[in-house]
Structure 1
Amino acid sequence: MGVCDAIERNATSGKPAAMSAPHLPKVAGIDPTVPAPAHNPAPMPAAPAALPAAGAVLQDRLAGWVSDLTTLHELTERLIRTGTLDDALDELLGAGAALVGARRGLVVLEPAQGTARDSPVDDDPGPGLAKGLGLSRSDLGHIETVPRAATAYGRILDGGHGDDGGPSGVPVPVAHPDLFADDSLDPLHREVATRLGYAASYTVPLATEESGMLGAAVWLYDEPATPVERQCHLVGLYMRYATEHLARLRELEQARSTVATVAEELLPSRLPRVPGVRLAARHHTGTHGGGDWYDALPLPEGALGLAAGSVSGSGPSALAAMGRLRASLRAYAVMEGEDPVAVLSDLELLMRITEPARTATALFAYAEPADRKVVLAGAGHAPPLVTGERRTEFVETSLSAPLGMLACWEAPSVELCLQPGETVLLYTDGLLRRTGEPMDHAFARLHAAAASVPRALRGEPVALADHVLHTMLPEGPDAAGGEDIVLLAARFD
């Protein structure tokens, strides 16, 4: 039976009025047959329109706060995943632009302590532009022509802004809702704004009490505009967190730069020139600052010593141990370099005495370029690779534990007879690990990289080494981070 049928059956037409009158339910002890009142009751006054409840307003505000906090959490999570200063600045510019509703922006970083900013001969350190969002290098160059004191970020960084007395002593943001309506705007600044097509700006300091003044971020609007109070609050919270993260990254990159500089100073400043052989070396310090090294030194009677190795550990202690190990190997090579096994045995004995808590891998080769003969021995090190027109193959060295792991190290040497134009490649495990693949796959990739060197590049060890590195690490030797990279190429004529 449908709804319409039920309505039709219960229609009041043709039925007594008494039957359509409401009937009270039967309740025990009460007679429900109470006559209905004879008069109609007065109509009830209309209820006034309901006002929004205070709870609903509070609920809407809470929902907005939760949404803002969720957005802020997601943006800071993305920022904390950045591992370099450059990536962090890109993330900061994009997140800040989304928070304040701008399309373009730039970050100005103050020089770190001990740089040119502190030099007494540099009166005008310049704006120090570091990164731009939606701005080309030429656009940043135009902005750089504006005197620093005429910009909002310049007044913030130099402490000349009148409102820099915030509660915590940190400069407050500076908003320019309409640059062209500002009579105090520098004429050159007005010209640059017209050329680049922005009409308003919002500048936020990158500063906290703990980190000090790092720099400032500027977002540019195409039309006169200014962020609302909610946007200002969110970007202020984000920038305080970003400042702490940027400070940590800058300290880390300064430490990495120092480690890389020390590592380069401990390695050969230039490769020797020995008749009959041409050399090329590539070294890239990893993010952890390991102790990978190489060496090439001329020996008596026109011979040449080639070496590569890696010290366990990372940081300054590993670098110091690497320097001691390399210097010791050079001394042993001069005394008895024609016997690589004796050189590594002496090095093993020295390590057990002076570096009892450390291990190292090493490979030493004694080369006679005139005869294109190479005698080599290795201690836990990756095998060299010989590449030329007719072959590309790994040298079968005897298996041995690293230095420092045996009571007395000794393994037989291997002798190579090279063809004219063949190149011997010495490298460290870091080159293999940087690929992120299992070691057997990494060895196969290295073999393929050496075999695929174009014929025109095989005569130049520098070009050959660069080709192998680019093939092994297409994104560049500094992209993957982590391990040190050492590659030493010796081409025998």
Structure 2
Amino acid sequence: MTDVHPLTSTAPAATALPPAPAPAPPAPPAAAAPAADPAADLLLLPELGEVPAADLQDRLAGWLSDFTSLQEHLELLARADGLAGTLDALLDSGAALLGARRGLVVTLPPGSEGQPARPVGLGLDRATLGTLETVPVEHGPFAGLLGRPGPEGRLLIADLAADPAVGPRFREVAEQLGLGACYALPLAAGPAEEVLGAAAWFYDEPGSPDERREHLVRRYCEFAAPLLARQLAADRAVRAAETLRRSLLPGHLPARTGLRVAARCVPAALERAAGSDWYDAIALPDDTVGLTVGSVLGGGPGAGPHAGTEAAAAMGRVRAALRAYAVLEGEDPVSVLGDLELLLKTTEPTRSATAVYACVDPAGRRIALAGAANCPPVLLTRYGANFVETSLSAPLGMLSCWEAPGVELTAEPGDVLVLYTEGLARRFAPALHAGQSALRRAAADAPRDVRLDPDRLCAHLLEQAGGGEPGTDDLVLLAARFE
């Protein structure tokens, strides 16, 4: 690519880059943002030499303004929510510092061998991003930046239409999208650090940023890179936890004559150390079925970036133990939960669990269940929907000894037993009891054809709760209909 000096421009004066916005009053940097060192920043600026006092005062005022602007943009980055918010903030701030209008950022997943993940755009819709993805990486806006960047550590194409080094596909796409110039930087904490990705900003007309703007955006990207690295690591931990937990949940639900079962599981948008929900349906040797939902909580002071993975692994261990106890003592839900509580105290001392376990006899339509601090199940009948009130009890592992009486009842043909965790109730209303009541009303008001199919009933309840998109809590729902 032709490297055009940052102070030159092929654009006429009428199309020069817009001036930088006036900075706001200085503000202290956010705790999570790396602090810029004004002394180090000044050392990178040109030598003053013999400068008249008036000019020196103007230059110092300009440098102070630039430093304040840099700090404000770093504060915005530190307050960004998650990886997506960090990438959006990086693009927005880079565009403001460079005077550009559109931008593009990509990250490099581990083991990608230079092949970036799906790009995130600024001022570019999904169709435009798809068009830019058709440009080969080695000839596009990130050429030479995703491996070992050259000594320049940047890519500047001041005229995408006239530069002979621009690949034909990139030139074609730039003309189609109205891109006149491109300025791109690798995202790495330092020259010897691993490249995390790259960001590019586009101008509508041919041109290049002046030395001041280029200096600011370089410094900004240097400070942003460590924060981006932490967000990428957290995002990978979230994805690993989600993959693990999905592998630990049942791949299919058992079929029994006279009973149809369906379930839904929607993990939280961001895995936290708080817990991991499960559901299960266990075909027992005596032709009964064990139904359970619950949540593993806690993790102790060691909770960190991998807390979600650890919680998912703990959920898998608890669920596996519950399956074993159900086979041994399935007809006695109180004994099943009592054994599970003893296991938690012995092998998971920093965790507790909420759970409900029901042993269902499809032939006799008999239900025996017990709960430990879990939301009360709902029994949907031809007369409406009612809670199956389990005795109020503490979560498993919280007290010296858990004990609560079981509940037994007989269902009618067409009745549906609905088990769920707290996350679903809180989708209906922030207050837990209000959410439980709203869920019960939604089940009672479900159309008749929906109530005939437990899978459709699960979908209906999710829709009434606001949809199946990830929220702030895990969400589990299990419905069993007696034929």
TM-score (ref. length: structure 2): 0.79
Number of the residue aligned with 2:243: 261
Deviations 1:420-455 (A, max 9, x none): 333222122233456782323332333344344344
Instruction: Indicate which of 232, 245, 258 corresponds to 1:276.
Output: 258
Q: Conserved in 2, the CA contact under 8 Å of 1:88 and 1:246? A: yes
What letter is aligned with 1:374? I
Instruction: Indicate which of 267, 273, 288 corresponds to 1:285.
Output: 267
Instruction: Indicate which of 215, 235, 240 corresponds to 1:233.
Output: 215
Distance 1:127 1:409 in 2: 51
Number of the residue aligned with 2:125: 136
Number of the residue aligned with 2:97: 99
Note closer, same or farther for the CA distance 1:358–1:199 as it changes in structure 2 (3 Å cut).
closer
Number of the residue aligned with 2:25: none
Number of the residue aligned with 1:28: none
The Cα shift of 1:252 comes to 0.5
Number of the residue aligned with 1:42: none
What letter is aligned with 1:377? A
The Cα shift of 1:377 comes to 0.8
Q: Which ranges in structure 1 are unaligned for 5 or more consecutive residues?
A: 1-52, 119-124, 167-171
Deviations 1:391-417 (A, max 9, x none): 122211112222223444332211233
Between 448-457 and 207-216, report the one with greater CA deviation.
448-457
Between 64-73 and 199-208, report the one with greater CA deviation.
64-73
Q: Conserved in 1, the CA contact under 8 Å of 2:147 and 2:195? A: no
Q: How does 1:138-157 map to 2 (within 5 A)?
A: 138-157=127-146
Note closer, same or farther for the CA distance 1:56–1:462 as it changes in structure 2 (3 Å cut).
farther
Q: Which ranges in structure 2 are unaligned for 5 or more consecutive residues?
A: 1-50, 300-306
Give SS of 1:180's match: coil
Distance 2:437 2:193 in 1: 47
Distance 2:324 2:278 in 1: 16
Note closer, same or farther for the CA distance 1:355–1:179 as it changes in structure 2 (3 Å cut).
closer
The Cα shift of 1:222 comes to 1.4
Distance 1:211 1:387 in 2: 60
Distance 1:329 1:75 in 2: 51
Between 84-93 and 303-312, report the one with greater CA deviation.
84-93
Q: How does 1:289-304 map to 2 (within 5 A)?
A: 290-304=275-289
Distance 2:136 2:346 in 1: 62
TM-score (ref. length: structure 1): 0.78
Note closer, same or farther for the CA distance 1:470–1:81 as it changes in structure 2 (3 Å cut).
farther
Number of the residue aligned with 1:219: 201
Note closer, same or farther for the CA distance 1:128–1:394 as it changes in structure 2 (3 Å cut).
same
The Cα shift of 1:342 comes to 2.2
Note closer, same or farther for the CA distance 1:59–1:436 as it changes in structure 2 (3 Å cut).
farther
Between structure 1 and structure 2, the one with the greater Rg is 1
Paired residues in the alignment total 421
Distance 2:117 2:469 in 1: 27
Note closer, same or farther for the CA distance 1:222–1:452 as it changes in structure 2 (3 Å cut).
farther
Instruction: Indicate which of 110, 117, 130 corresponds to 1:113.
Output: 110
The Cα shift of 1:254 comes to 0.8
Instruction: Indicate which of 170, 173, 180 corresponds to 1:189.
Output: 170
Q: How does 1:420-439 map to 2 (within 5 A)?
A: 420-433=413-426, 437-439=430-432
Distance 1:92 1:460 in 2: 48
Distance 1:63 1:241 in 2: 23
Q: How does 1:282-361 map to 2 (within 5 A)?
A: 282-286=264-268, 287-288=271-272, 290-314=275-299, 315=307, 316-361=309-354
Q: Which has the higher contact order (CA 8 A, sep 6+)?
A: 2
Distance 2:227 2:214 in 1: 20
Give SS of 1:219's match: strand
Do structure 1's residue 396 and structure 2's residue 381 form an aligned pair? no
Identical counterparts, % of pairs: 48
Distance 1:65 1:99 in 2: 14
Give SS of 1:205's match: strand
